């Protein structure tokens, strides 16, 4: 169990994602305070379940229908997925950016931030400890990474690819090779050229093999290889319309 409390943003009431969920589920009651309160309560219930039972970022055993029943709102899971707060799988639910918002490490960062806010009110700048400065730098880096989050190309904005993309980022983090924004941009450009099916196959194959870089499987299920370069003789023969046996 991760803890007996969860963190909710101060501006959650007017958060764009909340407004989108409210507009999708209650189009006639967008300005109805009671409808928004119900959405907020459903979010609280959902995040409590995630905090208690999704230590690895996956809510095992829960389906979209199960979560909908927990909050008593039909279509709830689908709307969470539409705003990027959930990924629906057949046998479980995946929580994007789980480590940033849930679990002990996320709560520790929140507590550190609160402690530093209090300390700033009573301590002058000159007496802050190196540890405080280090944590502040880490928090700034995390915030900058979120701002630089690379959006998916329109052709890859599907549930299947989004889940594979999350798995790929998680795999790189687990092998201590976190993707940089530049890497993600270039990989998404390649995936856009390959298309959804080919890209998902390459991601799954790479993760299965435990590799660091994306590699496609060939028809036998092995990593694809590039063709050998032509020799100068082969290039000359090709320019003359000759085969290997016609060079004499």
Burial 3-16 (b: 16+ CB within 10 A, else e): eeebeeeeeeeeee
Within a domain: residue 248? no
Q: For the chain, how many structural domains are there in total?
A: 2
Within a domain: residue 149? no
Burial 40-69 (b: 16+ CB within 10 A, else e): bebbebbbebbbeebeebbbeebbbeebbe
Q: Which of 73, 100, 127 is the last residue of a domain?
A: 100
- Among the residue ranges 4-18, 86-100, 140-154, the one predicted with the least confidence is 140-154
Q: Please, which pLDDT band fits residue 135 given cuts at 50, 70 and 90?
A: low
> How does pLDDT run across 187-219, given as a tens digit for each residue?
999 999 999 999 999 999 999 999 999 999 875
> How does pLDDT run across 25-66, given as a tens digit for each residue?
887 776 788 888 998 899 999 988 888 887 778 888 899 999
| Residues 4, 208: Cα–Cα separation, whole Å | 36
Q: Specify the pLDDT at position 1.
A: 40
Q: Which of 151, 140, 105, 134 is nearest to 3 (CA)?
A: 105
**123 by DSSP, 3-state: which?**
coil
Q: Examine the domain organization and report whether 86 and 166 are in the same domain.
A: no
Within a domain: residue 146? no
Return the structure tokens found at 47. 């995040």
Within a domain: residue 239? no
Within a domain: residue 72? yes
Range of the domain at 17: 12-100
| Residues 23, 30: Cα–Cα separation, whole Å | 6
Within a domain: residue 198? yes
As a whole-number percent, the residues of the chain with pLDDT over 90 amount to: 34
Return the structure tokens found at 44. 């609280």
Q: Examine the domain organization and report whether 95 and 24 are in the same domain.
A: yes
Within a domain: residue 230? no
| Residues 99, 57: Cα–Cα separation, whole Å | 7
Within a domain: residue 7? no
């Amino acid at each position: 169990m991760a803890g007996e409390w969860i963190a909710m943003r101060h501006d959650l009431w007017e958060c764009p994602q909340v407004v989108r969920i409210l507009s999708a589920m209650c189009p006639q009651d967008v300005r109805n305070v009671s409808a928004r309160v119900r959405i907020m309560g459903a979010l609280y219930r959902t995040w409590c379940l995630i905090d208690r039972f999704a230590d690895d970022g996956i809510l095992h055993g829960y389906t979209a229908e199960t979560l909908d029943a927990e909050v008593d709102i039909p279509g709830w899971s689908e709307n969470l997925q539409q705003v990027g707060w959930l990924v629906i799988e057949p046998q479980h639910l995946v929580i994007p950016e789980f480590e940033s918002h849930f679990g002990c490490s996320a709560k520790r960062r929140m507590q550190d931030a609160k402690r530093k806010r209090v300390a700033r009110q009573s301590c002058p700048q000159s007496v802050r400890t190196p540890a405080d400065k280090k944590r502040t730098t880490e928090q700034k880096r995390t915030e900058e990474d979120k701002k630089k989050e690379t959006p998916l190309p329109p052709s890859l904005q599907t549930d299947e690819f989004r889940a594979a993309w999350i798995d790929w980022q998680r795999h790189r983090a687990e092998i201590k090779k976190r993707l940089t924004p530049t890497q993600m941009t270039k990989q998404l450009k390649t995936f856009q050229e390959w298309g959804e099916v080919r890209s998902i196959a390459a991601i799954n194959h790479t993760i299965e093999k435990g590799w660091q870089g994306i590699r496609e499987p060939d028809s036998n299920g092995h990593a694809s290889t590039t063709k050998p370069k032509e020799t100068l003789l082969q290039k000359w023969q090709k320019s003359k319309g000759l085969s290997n046996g016609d060079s004499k």
